[in-house]
Amino acid sequence: MKVCVAGAAGAFGMKHLDAIAAIDGVEVTSVVGRKPDDIEAFAKERGIGHWTADLNESLARPDVDAVILSTPTQVHAAQAIACMKAGKHVLVEIPMADSLADSQDIVRVQKETGVVAMAGHVRRFNPSHQWVHNKIKAGELTIQQMDVQTYFFRRTNMNAMGRPRSWTDHLLWHHACHTVDLFQYQTGEVAADVFGLQGPMHPELDIAMDMAIGMKTPKGAVCTLSLSFNNKGPFGSFFRYICDNGTYIARYDDLFDGEDNSIDLSGVAVSTNGIELIDREFFSAIQEGREPKGSVAQCLPAMETLHRIERSLR
């Protein structure tokens, strides 16, 4: 399978390139970047034969079967739709869009074209969350509450590698999307009640720097989510599962019990890297001609819930 990675030189573009390198039978034949000179140097360093600053140039190539979009959130929808209309399978990084209307358009075009279209909701694939999900499916756990903290420190547009980025990140439509989708995925329900609170807007970035979100399912499970770009300290997302039969703390691909004892995840999946696992699912779904776990249609309820939370913000 031959793949194009758009946004290849960004923090998550490089994570996907590293993940693909561990997967047999997949070759990156094209990369897309924002600056022509930069992406040319990047491609040559990585031994990739084609580079461009124009995604459409890659979409026109016969040696591109699928595209991974690790590009700015604001262009996800337009680029995902362009990929599908060009007959290319597409994995679009989370979030698939920054509005419900654009997300609905992506799902509609996927149904029209029939290509594989997947959203990068990696929390579904992290071994830590998979372990919890398997216990829930086996009837061994029931979630009573998820308590989640998503913390960063940002004053300018910087990516996860500390490098300048060309777009502005968003607590609700990016970082909260991870938890909203995971909560609904793990409970098997769409939140019936939601609320959102946001702090002051940043005078230059024009985004809220702090946010609190609450959700409750019809069966009574609750989720409390705190998000901040004002946190000086350890950054990232940390998930506490409070269940009827134990408490578990997920830190990306690692899992601990309520007393901070590490849980062995070696038998959960073929890799301990969530990005690699989501890429493997994408390529397997293409090869097998099936809907992937985490398809854009399956992830649409999260976007619907985000829309409801946005309308409740105050």
pLDDT, one tens digit per residue, over 279-297 is: 999 999 999 999 999 999 9
In order along its 314 residues, the chain shows pLDDT tens digits of 999 999 999 989 999 999 999 999 999 999 999 999 999 999 999 999 999 999 999 999 999 999 999 999 999 999 999 999 999 999 999 999 999 999 999 999 999 999 999 999 999 999 999 999 999 999 999 999 999 999 998 887 766 656 666 667 889 999 999 999 999 999 999 999 999 999 999 988 888 999 999 999 999 999 999 999 999 988 889 999 999 999 999 998 899 999 999 999 999 999 999 999 999 999 999 999 999 999 999 999 999 999 999 999 97
Q: 244 and 279: one domain?
A: no
- 32 and 76 both lie in a single domain: yes
Shared domain for 75 and 27, answered yes or no, is: yes
Q: Are residue 86 and residue 207 in the same domain, yes or no?
A: no
Q: Are residues 45 and 175 part of one domain?
A: no
Closest by CA to 253, choosing from 95, 131, 121, is 131
DSSP-based three-state secondary structure for 44: helix
Domain count, the chain: 2
**Half-sphere exposure in the Cβ direction for 90 (13 Å, CA):** 33
Indicate which CATH number applies to the domain containing 227. 3.30.360.10
Do 249 and 141 share a structural domain? yes
Cβ(249)–Cβ(239) below 8 Å: yes
Per-residue pLDDT, 194: 98
Please report the pLDDT score of residue 163 as a whole number: 67
- Rounded mean pLDDT of the chain? 95
Q: Say which residue the tokens 């970047």 belong to.
A: 33
Structural domain of 281: 2-122+275-294
Both structure tokens of 32: 């897309």
Residue 217: the pLDDT is 98
What does each C-alpha distance from 12 to 39, 144, 145 come to in angstroms? 15, 32, 30
Q: Are residues 11 and 50 in the same domain?
A: yes
Residues 17 and 136 grouped into a single domain: no
Pair 15, 77 in one domain = yes
Q: Contact 117/295 with Cβ under 8 angstroms? A: yes
* Whether residue 65 sits in one domain with residue 144: no
Q: How far apart are CA 208 and CA 214, in angstroms?
A: 17
Burial of 94 (0-12, 13-18, 19+ CB in 10 A): buried
Same domain, 248 and 208: yes
Compute, in degrees rounded to 10, the torsion defined by CA atoms 155, 161, 164, 170: -50
The SS3 of residue 89 is strand
What kind and span of H or E run contains 220?
none
CATH number, domain with residue 6: 3.40.50.720
Does one domain contain both 306 and 161?
Answer: yes
Q: CB 278: neighbour CB atoms within 10 A?
A: 27
Nearest to 227 by CA among 288, 119, 141, 147: 147
Position of tokens 């026109």? 60
